Amino acid sequence: MDTKDIQIKDYNYPLPDERIAKYPLPQRDRSKLLLYRNGDISHTVFSNLPSLLPPQSLMIFNNTRVVQARLHFHKQTGALIEIFILEPSQPVEYQENFAARGKVAWRCLVGNLKKWKEGTLKRQIVIGATAFTLTAERITGPESNSEEVLFSWDAPFTWAEILDAAGELPIPPYLNRKTEESDLTTYQTVYSRIKGSVAAPTAGLHFTPQVLEQIDRLGMERDEVTLHVGAGTFKPVKSEHIGQHEMHTEHIAVNISTIERLLAHEGHAIAVGTTSVRTLESLYYMGLRAKALTDEGLDTGDAEELHVHQWDPYSPAMTNVPATQSLAWLLQYMQRHELTILHSSTQIIIAPGYDFHVVQAIVTNFHQPQSTLLLLVSAFVKGNWRAIYDYALANGFRFLSYGDSSLLIP
């Protein structure tokens, strides 16, 4: 079957609300860990993960940090307007945007938009001893189901400081509860560093400093990539066939040293979370793209030209190059253009029929029925996802963001 013809109804399973973990366990690494290895399924506790990993492995973590992306304003009429920031537009680079003072613009989702047809929203904010006004103004009309909003303030604070003071952490909608103070800590990985996500890379929520130290003691290497998780991660597949589903774009940043380390490990790695999977597999296609642009004399050094489109991986011509070769082409591209960090984006969809090139094992949570993340898991375990999920349901596993996890070694 052609991947585009896959019917999403075939990836459904019963998930009672009581099996969705509304809160994490008090101790992160005491969560359950399902082990799927060569078709066999068993389980243990997450703190035992390091002893289950192949020796001398390279583990890749997503170091993105969730920002307090929800902002609430009241109009003079009393109407509540919620603005959910999605991705920066002025300045367009994340770190530059968060460091900006005075004004920034973002693509946003706006709740209760019909009550905000025109005018400027205002909100009083206090940071330390300084009180000031934050304003929000729509600067374009609807585009791709979002709005562009200009935020401005007259105070000596960065946009990152504004969000920390005035924003609300956006926990997943399926938790059906409001954000609580504890979420500010528990909905971040212990290694999160680079602000930009509106959702956590949740497989990483189980790691503790002790587990990371044990990984190091056993001689495994750790490295990091950055993929800023967008609101699209919660976008349901509403079409009957996945070929009609449009994947969201996510922005990635990868250090040149990470490419070099991947090459030292023969182009292979263990991915912590589906975001790391999508980043690592996208690097493979970026290498192919870099080679093609170079051969045609069209490469400019703007790494957005390496953007991975949704269906790129399913072209027969795109899958027969070893990972080491493609990553070497990507490394040469970065060296030629003196890029120490690759800033690009990906729209990759990984579904049954996909050939994995870089990722050899995955640490991941249990995902929603009929989701693109469940398609990714199915692709990795060669269609055997239902046995894994039936086992988890039968053995009391907790599901979704704050739930338990799995180690998949096909």
Report the C-alpha dihedral over residues 29, 360, 11, 171, rounded to 10 degrees: 40
Host H or E run for residue 325: helix 323-336
CA 331 – CA 259 distance, rounded (Å): 7
- Strand-pairing partners, residue 87, are 107
- Strand-pairing partners, residue 406, are 34, 364
Other beta carbons within 10 angstroms of residue 265's beta carbon come to: 18
End-to-end Cα distance, the chain: 22
Pick from 313, 337, 338: which is nearest to 326 by CA?
313
Quote the pTM value.
Answer: 0.92
pLDDT per residue rounded down to tens, the chain (410 residues): 789 889 999 999 999 999 999 999 999 999 999 999 999 999 999 999 999 999 899 999 999 999 999 999 998 888 899 999 998 999 999 999 999 999 999 999 898 888 887 789 999 999 999 999 999 999 875 555 568 999 999 999 999 999 999 999 999 888 989 999 999 999 999 999 999 998 999 999 999 999 999 999 999 999 999 999 887 766 778 899 999 998 888 999 999 999 999 999 999 999 999 999 999 999 999 999 999 999 999 999 999 999 999 999 998 766 689 999 999 999 999 999 999 999 999 999 999 999 999 999 999 999 999 999 999 999 999 999 999 999 999 999 999 999 999 999 99
CB 270 within 8 A of CB 57: yes
Q: Which domains does the chain have, with CATH numbers?
A: 3-65+185-409 (3.40.1780.10), 70-167 (2.40.10)
Which letter, b or e, does each residue of 318-351 get, where b requires 16 or more Cβ atoms within 10 Å of its Cβ? beebebbebbbbbbebbeeeebeebbbbbbbbbb
DSSP strand pairing (269-272 vs 120-127): unpaired
The answer to whether the Cα torsion of 111, 135, 182, 392 is positive or negative is: positive
